[in-house]
Each structure stands twice: as C-alpha cells, then as structure tokens.
C-alpha cells in the first residue's frame, strides 16, 4: 500500500468502500467546462452501477473491478447555471450550485507563493462574481491515487498568489463562470510531474524512468523522514524529490480527466541540476497532460523560466544549465497549441532596486492572461515577442532574421545591444557586437572569421535587452541547438 506524503487514512481502498464517493472536484459550487464532454469520476464497489444526472441528462456505467467509475456526459448543456448534479449508486449524492464555464489548470512550481511578500497580500477579487478556485492538496505517492482533498472557493476567499491572480484576471476579462484548478507543487522536477506511462514511448525515456525509479523500501524510509519534518513542502527528502512520477501520482492523477479549457505550466528552475534530462523530458509534459485529460488538442501555456537567483554570474556563465532549460521551453513553442510566455525581463538583475515577488507574479499573470485571451478567445492582445527565424552568414558577419517584431526591433539600451554571442565551426562562442536594422540584427567579432551560429542571453540570470514594438522581449535562444 502506498505511503502518501500528506497522510490520508480517509482515502480508503475502493474494495473497502460501501458507497459511491465522488472526487471532491465535484462538490457544491464547482465549475464544469462548457461545450466539452464532462467526465464525472470517483470510487464505488466493483460492479456497482452508478448513474449521473444533470438537468435531465442521464448516463450510467458499471464500476470497474478496481472500484473506479468514469461517466462521460455529452456536451449538451447550456453554459451558465446553476445546475444540480445527482450521482446514484447504492447511495445518492446531490451537488448544488454548479456552473458551466471556462476551467483552467495550473501545473508546475508554486514556491513563490510561499514567500513573505506574497503571503502578506490580500487575495484579489473579480468584477465577475462567478470566479472560483480549487487548490489541490499537494501530495506525493509511489502509486496512483484517485482521491484528493479540497473545495471550490470564491476567488476573493482563495489564498493569495498566482492562481488567485490568474482567476481574478480571467474573470475581469471574460463573462460567465471561471474555474481555476491549482495543482502546483513547490520545487518538484519535471520527471516527478510525468506519469509512468509518459516514459514508455522511447527507450531513452524508459532509461530515464529506471534511473529515477524509487524502491518501495527507499520510498517508505524517505516518507518516514519527511513525516518527522511535519511534511514541510520545502523540506522534502532528496529521495522523494528526485523520484519519477511521485507528483503525478499524488497530485495530478487524482484530478484526471476533469474537462478543461486549457493548462498553464509555471517553471521554477529546480531542474537546473539535471538540465540534460529536462531537455528530453519537458516536451513530454504537454503530451502527457493532453493524454491524461483526454484532450489531444488541449491549449497549453508554457511560462518560461525567469530570474532564479542573484549569484553574481549574470552574463558571465557561458554554459548555464538555466539557459538549457529556457532553450527547451523556447523550442516547445513549435508544439501545436502551445504558447510560450517569456518572463526573464520582468526582474532586471542589474536594477538597484529589485522587484518584490508579488509584483513579479502580477506581471507574469498579466502577460499570461494576454496570451490566453489572444490565442484562445481571439481578443486583440499583444502576447508574443520577437522570434528568431534563421541566420545568414555574410563574410565575417552573421545576419539574424526575426518574426513577430510588430514593425521593428529595438534595444532598451539605445545603440548598445547586449547579450549576443556568435561562433564558427568550432562552436566556441564569443561576445558579439550587435547592430539592429529593422527586423534584423547583424553580429560580428574579429575573432570569429566565419560565423555560423548565434545565441542570446545564454546565462543564468540574463538581462533581456531586445524587444519588439509592443514591448515584448526576445526569448533567449541558441541557433546551434
């Protein structure tokens, strides 16, 4: 039997349950995704017939041998509400005050929410009185869990932080009911977020899973150690933090396959110490989430790694693993219906007065909301910075071409353009002089006679200096990768 990080003897094995038990996502005040199949799920006795009814629409299933049921309700209900949901097996459950609207899922790191600057803030409210947030209980497990804890809260009553900001801003920009499911977890690497099935497609992925698989004895030992620390989310033993699939099994799995409008990934930088694995595994996150939530074209928003620490490195560390993470995220923009949100410019590492965590969270939320509104709701919002397209060698110079410039490129430092490097066949990058002309940037360095490759802001804490006409930044990139 799995030991979970958040001890929960209330989560009984299905075979011991004598009644239908719904996921707490289906509780009074819940928001369901409109215009899509509604998946209703929970536990019951094996072989028990379970029926669900909303507004006269009925569907029934037979519970599986493992005590799991999944009812698919066709998208025939009108948006809005309120509706009641009746679920009946040997017992009957009635869920009230349900609305059909837009539901977004948050995944990834939430460590910034725990900083004093964020915790002291009052939660944001919304002009829309039908905005609700569900905070999924953070949990780790060696085996897949099917229940979690939590309740739907009005946005003004939810805890301050990024989920509260996203929910309130969605509510201010959209009509109708809004739901945000916050399934983030502090400082857990990407391998912990992936389901075991996500590693099965290729041998390289299977090898990584085996590398980070945790034995039952080691899992029990580490869980006991963590319990002695009162299960502090910031004092997770390394054996648990480095194990594959524990966050998926304990935190994400229990809310699948709730119907969604889209998902948002927030990057925290914990994968810096295993950047090589990250470049292989990060694209799997999008595919895995879409598979587990049964939506192959689920819109995905990737919030790129921002500033992570002031270690004095700035523009000096030429082989930064943080840059490798940003490059993997940058390349993920090519995955259909995945939108990249660049954030490293929102905290200037050269500024004398650094911004507070909450101010940065607000600005990241604003940029994320603009991307959502533009891509998914066809609102006229600028959301994409300049995008590197290709490089053209020209004698001893290298000319870079960019798209999404909104008319022109500009440097926030006037004629001086910092952060670019170039290299020849030896891949030995040297600082480059950069000259902006319209939608192009020409690089040169007298030490590089035949330049072929360019990279930009390739460091742990870069200062982004190139923007388009609508003040959105060029993402760090490496044309050699």
Q: Set out the domains of the chain in order of their start, with CATH numbers.
A: 99-383 (3.40.50.1110), 387-478 (no CATH)
Q: In the predicted model, is pLDDT for residue 142 greater than 80?
A: yes
d(CA 250, CA 142): 8
How much is the average pLDDT of 21-49? 97
pLDDT of 12 reads 41
pLDDT of 442 reads 97
Contacts of 217 (CB under 8 A, 6+ apart): none
Which run of H or of E encompasses 173? helix 162-173
pLDDT tens digits, one per residue of 286-300: 999 999 999 999 999
pLDDT tens digits, one per residue of 348-389: 777 767 788 999 999 999 999 999 999 999 999 999 999 999
- Name the token pair of 249: 């099994």
Residue percentage of the chain with pLDDT more than 70: 94
- Name the token pair of 427: 């891949």
Give the DSSP per-residue string, 186-232.
TT--HHHHS-GGGGSSSHHHHHHHHHH---HHHHHHHHHHHHTTTT-
**Reported pTM:** 0.93
In contact, 20 and 245? CB cutoff 8 Å: no
d(CA 387, CA 402): 5
Q: How many CB atoms lie within 10 A of CB 115?
A: 14
pLDDT tens digits, one per residue of 172-227: 999 999 999 999 999 999 999 999 999 998 888 889 999 999 999 999 999 999 99
Q: In the predicted model, is pLDDT for residue 3 greater than 60?
A: no
- Name the token pair of 23: 């996921």
pLDDT of 16 reads 45
């Amino acid at each position: 039997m799995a030991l979970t990080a958040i001890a929960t003897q209330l989560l009984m094995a299905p075979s011991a349950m004598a009644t239908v038990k719904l996921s707490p996502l289906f509780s009074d005040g819940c928001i369901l995704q409109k215009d899509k199949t509604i998946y209703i799920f929970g536990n019951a006795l094996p072989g028990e017939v379970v029926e669900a009814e909303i507004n006269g629409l009925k569907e029934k299933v037979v519970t599986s041998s493992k005590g799991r049921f999944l009812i698919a309700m066709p998208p025939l209900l009108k948006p809005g509400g309120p509706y009641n949901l009746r679920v009946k097996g040997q017992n009957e459950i009635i869920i009230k005050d349900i609305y059909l609207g837009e539901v977004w899922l948050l995944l990834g790191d939430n460590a910034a929410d725990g900083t004093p600057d964020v915790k002291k803030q009052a939660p944001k409210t919304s002009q829309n009185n039908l905005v609700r947030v569900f905070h999924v209980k953070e949990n780790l497990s060696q085996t897949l869990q099917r229940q979690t804890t939590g309740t739907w809260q009005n946005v003004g009553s939810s805890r301050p932080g990024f989920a509260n900001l996203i929910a309130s801003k969605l509510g201010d920009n959209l009509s109708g009911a809004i739901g945000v499911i916050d399934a983030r977890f502090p400082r857990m690497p990407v391998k912990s977020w992936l389901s075991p099935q996500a590693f099965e497609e290729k041998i390289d992925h299977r090898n990584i899973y085996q590398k980070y698989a945790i034995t039952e004895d080691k899992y029990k030992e580490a869980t006991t150690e963590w319990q002695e620390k009162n299960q502090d989310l910031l004092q997770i033993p390394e054996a648990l933090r480095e194990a594959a699939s524990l966050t998926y099994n304990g935190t994400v799995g229990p809310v699948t396959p709730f119907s969604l409008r889209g998902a948002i990934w927030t990057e925290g930088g914990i994968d810096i110490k295993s950047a090589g694995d990250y470049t292989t595994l990060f694209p799997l996150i999008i595919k895995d989430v879409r598979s587990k939530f049964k939506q192959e074209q689920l819109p995905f928003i990737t919030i790129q790694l921002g500033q992570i620490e002031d270690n004095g490195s700035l523009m000096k560390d030429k082989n930064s693993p943080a840059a490798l993470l940003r490059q993997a995220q940058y390349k993920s923009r090519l995955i259909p219906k995945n939108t990249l949100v660049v954030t490293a410019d929102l905290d200037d590492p050269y500024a004398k007065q650094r911004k507070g965590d909450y101010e940065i969270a607000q600005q990241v939320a604003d940029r994320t909301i603009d991307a959502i509104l533009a891509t998914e709701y066809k609102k006229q919002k600028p959301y994409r910075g300049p995008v590197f397209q290709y490089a053209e060698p020209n004698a001893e110079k290298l000319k870079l071409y960019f798209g999404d410039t909104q008319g022109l490129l500009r440097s926030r430092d006037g004629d001086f353009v910092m952060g670019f490097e170039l290299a020849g066949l030896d891949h030995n990058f040297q600082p480059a002089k950069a000259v902006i002309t319209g939608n192009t940037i020409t690089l040169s360095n007298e030490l590089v006679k035949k330049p072929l490759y360019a990279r930009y802001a390739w460091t742990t804490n870069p200062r982004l200096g190139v923007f388009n006409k609508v003040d959105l930044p060029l993402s760090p990139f490496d044309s050699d990768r």
